[in-house]
Structure 1
């Protein structure tokens, strides 16, 4: 029984990895399920056994991307003991991870378009936004900035980070865009200090 479960998990993991490559390289619309199935060395029936549709497979891939971005945010933020530096490093990590080639199309372009903003925002809320809210809560509890409604501030900052990532995803030919963004991020966060 354990062997079957491990084989099933391996099949699903392989399918997700192959699908992620296809969704990254071709976009959701042009990623052919037949090609994904062929490269994963599976049958169409095997895919439909685990996922109801191509859209469901894409949702799982997007969830994986969101989880990886959140892990990176957490990892980079933890490189400092200073809470302000943690906030900056986490915000910076989110932007940089979101616009990386293997994440950009899935997370910023196709994710909201294919699954809708509500699904996308719920995933963001469960991953990166959850970490942002946690950091802001700790900072507010220790008096690092004025008492303001925490949910409103979390959504305000998260919205700015998401919009910035979307802008950067379309500004890849402008060499100074990322550098300018990081300067603005530092100035913005400095302005929150009490």
Structure 2
């Protein structure tokens, strides 16, 4: 007598469709939440750039994208949280732009300098000045501790390590060197943004940054 195959219960078509419907609904909710978050970041970016952090109205901001304060609190907790998200977005864009500008440099050393100089140059951008270099530090604290600075720091550290191994740079602690070099570029940008004449301050800040960085190099 042939053995009958064990019965494997099958999910009914109705149940399968219900589960698929739930998954699609969950995905739709997640996509909507992400879209709303992006809308608020863009609206916050516009408001903070035009009016400044203190003067920006959260009611006007959320209404401009068809959302409520509840959506703001759900995504960012408060106005400060929204500013942190906006700063992170702009600061990350600055780092990417600096890398893109420096990509054509001849070697790691020239790229490292070019990235720093490109970052400093962005201090003349009105949006960067107001949001990242003025309101950001005033509301969020020391920029050196912002999460957006961490990835940039790690990239700089790796580049410095490679140049130390190749004897392009003096023997030193790569992590400390990266923090000081990134800090020099960041503080140069902060100095420019805070000055009475940013355009006039820029070349002096770049000159000193290059001189400081050059002290790391083997002659």
Q: Same fold (TM over 0.5)?
A: yes
Which of the residues 68, 73, 80 maps onto 2:93? 68
Residue 82 of structure 1 corresponds to: 107
Asked if residue 106 in structure 1 is aligned to residue 131 in structure 2, the reply is yes
Residue 139 of structure 1 corresponds to: 163
Asked if residue 185 in structure 1 is aligned to residue 209 in structure 2, the reply is yes
Which of the residues 33, 46, 53 maps onto 1:21? 46
Which of the residues 186, 199, 203 maps onto 1:162? 186
1:147, CA displacement in angstroms? 0.4
1:73, CA displacement in angstroms? 2.3
| 5+ long unaligned stretches in structure 1 | none
**C-alpha separation between the residues in 2 aligned to 1:34 and 1:12?**
15
User: SS of the residue aligned with 2:52?
Assistant: helix
TM-score by length of 2: 0.78
Structure having the higher Rg: 2
Change (3 A) 1:52 1:190: closer
Residue 37 of structure 1 corresponds to: 62
Residue pair 1:69, 1:98 contacting (<8 A) in 2 also: no
Residue pair 1:66, 1:123 contacting (<8 A) in 2 also: no
| 5+ long unaligned stretches in structure 2 | 1-23
User: SS of the residue aligned with 1:192?
Assistant: coil
Asked if residue 173 in structure 1 is aligned to residue 205 in structure 2, the reply is no
Which of the residues 140, 146, 151 maps onto 1:127? 151
**C-alpha separation between the residues in 2 aligned to 1:152 and 1:47?**
38
Which of the residues 66, 85, 92 maps onto 2:117? 92
Change (3 A) 1:60 1:174: closer
